[in-house]
Amino acid sequence: MESLNEYTKNLRRDFTKTAFDEKDAHNNPFKQFELWFEEAIKSKANEPNGMILSTVNKKGRPSSRIVLLRGMQNNGFNFFTNYDSRKGKELKENPYGCLLFFWPELERQIRIEGKIEIAPAAISDEYFALRPRNSRIGACASPQSKVLKNRQELEKLVDAINAKYTADVPRPKNWGGYILKANYYEFWQGRQSRLHDRICYNLKNKKWVKQRLAP
């Protein structure tokens, strides 16, 4: 094989599945998201609710990671994590973030921006109770984003929590949900020759303004 450096330069794939025009886009971006999300599920996309969450710290330095969408309503998108993790600390410093969904099976991506708030405790409690026991144990045991000496250190923490809670596992106070309240959406449909369709929605004076962007 040629060098990986050369391989990345020459890798090409055209997008030919479908088009996306302003007249076909729903006037409500949340409804449009629901339509595309349903199509991603029907296409059997791998982890259709997987999304890249980007945050920015007080020094203006960004970081990204994949989290799972665990609920949505009225332009609000839910995810759950450890409040003491890197993303949790960055959201305390700067409560604005971006979500990115990418479904290669449909040659589509959706970018959603907005302010991120801590979800009500009832929402976090409800979701935590739905998690398998081992996932709840992991949430209690892991000092997320902190340096560990080795894998064995983590496994000892898990064993200790497992022994402590033989029945129900309560939600840790430093673990729970966030809700991104969207004020910007961008729907991207891959097209031939990199002339992609990009339809964005900006929230202005409590109304959504729909526009086409150059690819």
Concatenating the DSSP letter of every residue in 113-180 gives EEEEEEPPHHHHHHHHHHS-HHHHHHHHH--TTS--S-HHHHHHHHHHHHHH-SS--PPPTTEEEEEE
Return the CATH number at 28.
2.30.110.10
97-144: pLDDT as tens digits: 999 999 999 999 999 999 999 999 999 999 999 999 999 999 999 999
What's this model's pTM, rounded to 2 decimal places?
A: 0.94
| Rounded average pLDDT over 40-55 | 97
Q: What pLDDT is stored for residue 13 in this prediction?
A: 87
Split into its structural domains, the chain has a count of 1
- Give the chain's end-to-end CA distance (angstroms, integer): 32
136-147: pLDDT as tens digits: 999 999 999 999
Count of CA atoms in the C-beta half-sphere (13 A) of 70 = 18
CB 110 within 8 A of CB 36: yes
**Whole-angstrom distance, CA of residue 23 vs CA of residue 31:** 14
Residue 146 lies inside a defined structural domain of this protein:
no
Residue 165 lies inside a defined structural domain of this protein:
no
| Rounded average pLDDT over 12-31 | 95
Residue 52 lies inside a defined structural domain of this protein:
yes
Give the model's confidence band at 188: pLDDT under 50 very low, under 70 low, under 90 confident, else very high.
very high
- Domain span at residue 41 reads 12-125+173-213
